[in-house]
Amino acid sequence: MCGIVGYTGNRQAYPIVIKGLKRLEYRGYDSAGVAIYDNRNIKIYKKEGKVADLEESIGTQNVQGTSCIGHTRWATHGEPSDRNAHPHLSASGKIAMIHNGIIENYAQLKRELLNKGYIFKSETDTEVLLNFIEEIKTNNNCSLEEALRIALKRVTGAYVILLIANDEPDTIIAARKGSPLVIGVGKNEHFLGSDASPMLEYTKEVVYVNDYELAIVKPDELVLKNLGNEKLTPYVQKLDMELSAIEKGGFDHFMLKEIFEQPQTIFDCMRGRLDVKAGTITMAGIQQYAEQIISANRIVIIACGTSWHAGLVAEYIIEELCRINVEVEYASEYRYRNPVINKDDIILAISQSGETADTLVAIENAKEKGAIILGVVNVVGSSIARASHAGAYTHAGPEIGVASTKAFTAQLVVLTMMALKIGYMKGTISNERYQKLLKELEVIPEKAAWIMNHTDGIKKIAEKYKQARDFLYLGRGYNFAVALEGALKLKEISYIHAEGYPAAEMKHGPIALVDENLPVTFVATKDAYHEKIVSNMQEIKARKGMVIAVITEGDDTCAELSDDIMIVPEADEIVAPMLTVIPLQLLSYYIGVAKGCDVDKPRNLAKSVTVE
Ligand code: F6R
C-alpha cells in the first residue's frame, strides 16, 4: 500500500518523482504529494485524488530542486484528503516525511506529543511519527539520522519512511521494516522507490534494502546501516527488467495488456524448466527440498485473494498427483490463529507481489516453528521470496493492473509443474499420465493465444449483461476455484456484486437468488464433472436464470443449455483452469470498461497489501 519515490542528484527532481509516482499508482491512488527543496526551503505540494490531479493542481508553477520525495497514498489513518496526503511537514517546518505502512502505537506517541503542546494538522500516524522524530532531534541535539534511529526503537508496526530536511537538503534518509524499498544507484545520483519501476530508465543497478536497515542517500554516496548504527555493505544487483514491461504498449489498459500477455507469460514460466522430449521438469528450489516434500505429512498453502484461488486449484492437483494432504489457508486468518504446525509440514506461500503483509507474517511464524517454507512468488527479490527457504518464481513480469490476471495463470503453471515433479519422483503418478501432462502443459500458450483471437463474443456478452446487479459463478472440481476467481474479478473491476460457489453447493442456499434477472456463469469444461455440471445448468434454466458458460470447443450439450457461451480449446482437466479463467478475466474487463470504471485502478483497492 502506498507508493514512495525519492530522487537526489543533479537533475531536476520533480519530473522524475512525478513519473515514478505514476508508475507506482497501482499501490494506492487516493491522494498524492511531493516535497522538494528549492534552495531555500522545503516546499510541499499535495492533493487528494490521483497523481494527475496533483499535477493539475500544481499547474504551471515552476517546481525546482534536485532532491525530492513523493508519495501516492492508500489511506489507512484518516480519510483521503489534501490534509492527510503525504508528505507531512514537521512542526518546525524543517523536516518532510513520507511513509508507507502503519505505525501501530501512534496513539500513544500522539498522546505524549499532545501533552507537550504539539498541534497536528492531519489525522495520520505519519505526522505523529515525524514530530516524534523531530522532538527527539531537538531534545538530544542530535542528527536527523540519530533521531530516526532512536525513534524507530519505540515504534511498532510496518514502515518505509523517507525524510528530507532543510539543513542537509541533498540527503534523503530512509528506513524500512515490513514494506519494500529499492534504491537505484546512478552516476552521482540515487533513486528510491517502493519497487524498481520509477528508476528503470535511469539505472539497472539496484539495492534492495532489508528490514531494520537505514539508508543515508546522497547524490554521490549510499550508506546503509543497521539500527545499531553499524555500517553494512550494500549489495548491488542488476535489474532484469525492461521499460517496455511497465508500459501499456498500445493497449488501453494494463489489465488488458496483461491478459493478452498470458500466452507469452505462461511460456516464460515454463521456459528452461519444462522439457517434454527429455520428460523432465527442472526446478532447482523444489529439487533442493524434494525429499522433504515427498515425505511431508501435509502441505499448507498460505495466500490471499487471487493467489489463494491459485492455492485452491493446487490443492486439487497436489492431492491428485502427489497424494499429499493439502490445506489452503487465508494468510490473514492463519497468522492470528494458533495453528498446529509440525516440523514435517511444508508451508507453501503464494504471492504475486511477494509483499502481502499477512502472507509474510504467516510464513515467518511458521518458520519459527520449524516448518519448511516454499514460495511461489512473482516479484524477484521481494520479502516473501527472501523469507522462503526455497521456491520458484512465476516469471510473469511486472503486473501493474490492480486486478491480478497473468500472475494467476503463471502461479497455476508453477504449481502444476511442482506437483508433476514431486508426483513423478514419489511414484504417485504413472509415467504415461506424467508424459501426457507435460505435453498438455507445453501447448497451453498456443491454446491461450487461441482464446485471445476469439474475444468478440465475450465483448458482446459484456454489453448484454453490464447492467446486471448480481452475478453467480459456479464451477466444480478444478474449475471451482476458477468460479471464485471469476467472481472476484467482476467485483473488483465492475463493482457488480458476484459470488462464486461450488456448483453442487448452490442447492444449499444460493439457488434462492435465481430468477430471470440473475446471470449465472458456469465454468463447465469437459472433465470428470461434466455430466454433473450439465445437471446444475438445467436446474438454473428450470428457474429461469440466465446461463453464461465457459465451455470446451465442440460441446453442443452445454452450448444448447446456455444463453451465451465463451469457448476454450479442449485440455486435460488439470491444466484447464489456466485457460478457463481467461474468458472470465476478459468478461470482467469488458464489463468494467462498458460501465466506465477505472479498470486499472478500481476504487478502494491497492495492488500490494502491505498492511494487515
Ligand atoms: C485480486 C488481487 C488480490 C491479490 C491479493 C494477494 O485481483 O489482485 O486479491 O491477489 O491481494 O496479493 P499477492 O498475490 O501479491 O500476495
Q: Calculate the average pLDDT of the chain.
A: 94
Please say if the pLDDT value at position 476 is more than 90: yes
| Residue owning the nearest CA to atom 11 of ligand 1 | 305
Centroid of ligand 1 to alpha carbon of 218 (angstroms):
35
Query: How far is Cα of residue 77 from the mean position of the Cα atoms in its chain?
Result: 21
What pLDDT sits at residue 321?
Answer: 98
Average pLDDT over residues 359-364: 94
Centroid of ligand 1 to alpha carbon of 187 (angstroms):
36
Please say if the pLDDT value at position 242 is more than 90: no
Cβ partners under 8 Å of residue 195, min gap 6: 24, 180, 182, 379, 398
All cell numbers assigned to 233: 555493505
- Which CA distances in Å does 405 have to 28, 259, 442, 453, 549? 18, 6, 20, 17, 20
What pLDDT sits at residue 382?
Answer: 87
Contact 127, 121 (CB under 8 A): yes
Contact 376, 360 (CB under 8 A): no
All cell numbers assigned to 177: 521494516
Across-strand partners of 35? 44, 69
All cell numbers assigned to 251: 493497449
Contact 103, 75 (CB under 8 A): no
Give the number of other Cβ atoms within 10 Å of residue 536's Cβ.
25
- The amino acid that residue 491 corresponds to is K
Please say if the pLDDT value at position 111 is more than 90: yes
Q: Which long-range contacts (CB under 8 A, 24 or more apart) does 138-145 make?
A: 144/95, 144/168, 144/173, 145/173, 145/214, 145/216
Give the number of other Cβ atoms within 10 Å of residue 234's Cβ.
17
Average pLDDT over residues 85-95: 96
All cell numbers assigned to 414: 508453477
Please say if the pLDDT value at position 381 is more than 90: no
Give CA–CA dist 408/311, Å, rounded.
10
- The amino acid that residue 413 corresponds to is V
Tell me how many degrees the CA angle 51-57-58 measures, rounded to the nearest 5. Answer: 90
* Dihedral sign from CA coordinates of 73, 76, 81, 82: negative
Contact 169, 189 (CB under 8 A): no
| Residue owning the nearest CA to atom 9 of ligand 1 | 305
What share of the chain has pLDDT > 90, as a percent? 84
Closest among 132, 156, 135, 137 to 147, alpha carbons compared: 137
Contact 355, 385 (CB under 8 A): no
Centroid of ligand 1 to alpha carbon of 408 (angstroms):
9
Centroid of ligand 1 to alpha carbon of 404 (angstroms):
6
What pLDDT sits at residue 248?
Answer: 86
Closest among 55, 154, 158, 149 to 101, alpha carbons compared: 158
Centroid of ligand 1 to alpha carbon of 285 (angstroms):
23
| Residue owning the nearest CA to atom 4 of ligand 1 | 305
All cell numbers assigned to 374: 516454499
Average pLDDT over residues 347-364: 94
**String of DSSP letters for 99-135:** EEEEETTHHHHHHHHHHTT---SSS-HHHHHHHHHHH
Average pLDDT over residues 257-281: 96
Please say if the pLDDT value at position 611 is more than 70: no
* Dihedral sign from CA coordinates of 389, 395, 398, 403: negative
Please say if the pLDDT value at position 606 is more than 80: no
Give CA–CA dist 262/275, Å, rounded.
20
- The amino acid that residue 504 corresponds to is A
β 157-165/182-185 pair status: unpaired
Q: Which of 179, 307, 393 to mutate to test the pocket of ligand 1 (most atoms within 8 A of CB)?
A: 307
Residues with CB under 6 A from ligand 1: 304-307, 351-353, 356, 359, 403-404, 488, 492, 609
Alpha-helix runs per DSSP H in 466-529: 480-494
Strand, coil or helix: 213: strand
Give CA–CA dist 33/49, Å, rounded.
10
Cell numbers 516479484 correspond to 379
Average pLDDT over residues 216-238: 96
Q: What is the pTM of this model?
A: 0.85
Q: Residue 539 belongs to what H/E stretch?
A: helix 530-542
β 67-73/3-8 pair status: antiparallel
What pLDDT sits at residue 441?
Answer: 98
Lowest mean pLDDT among 241-245, 503-507, 514-518: 241-245
Ligand 1 atom nearest residue 304's Cα: 6
| Residue owning the nearest CA to atom 3 of ligand 1 | 305
The catalytic residues are 2, 607
Q: What is the dihedral of CA 12, 49, 106, 610, to 10 degrees?
A: -80
Q: What would the pLDDT profile of 391-403 be if each residue is shown by its tens digit?
A: 999 999 999 999 9
Q: What would the pLDDT profile of 429-470 be if each residue is shown by its tens digit?
A: 999 999 999 999 999 999 999 999 999 999 999 999 999 999
What pLDDT sits at residue 56?
Answer: 96
Ligand 1 atom nearest residue 403's Cα: 7
Q: What would the pLDDT profile of 291-330 be if each residue is shown by its tens digit?
A: 999 999 999 999 999 999 999 999 999 999 999 999 999 9
Contact 486, 524 (CB under 8 A): no
Closest among 593, 567, 361 to 494, alpha carbons compared: 593
Centroid of ligand 1 to alpha carbon of 207 (angstroms):
25
To 10 degrees, what angle do helices 125-140 and 106-115 make? 50
What pLDDT sits at residue 561?
Answer: 94
What share of the chain has pLDDT > 70, as a percent? 99
All cell numbers assigned to 378: 512473482
Please say if the pLDDT value at position 612 is more than 70: no
Q: What would the pLDDT profile of 129-166 be if each residue is shown by its tens digit?
A: 999 999 999 999 999 999 999 999 999 988 999 999 99
What pLDDT sits at residue 221?
Answer: 97
Average pLDDT over residues 66-73: 96
Centroid of ligand 1 to alpha carbon of 442 (angstroms):
26
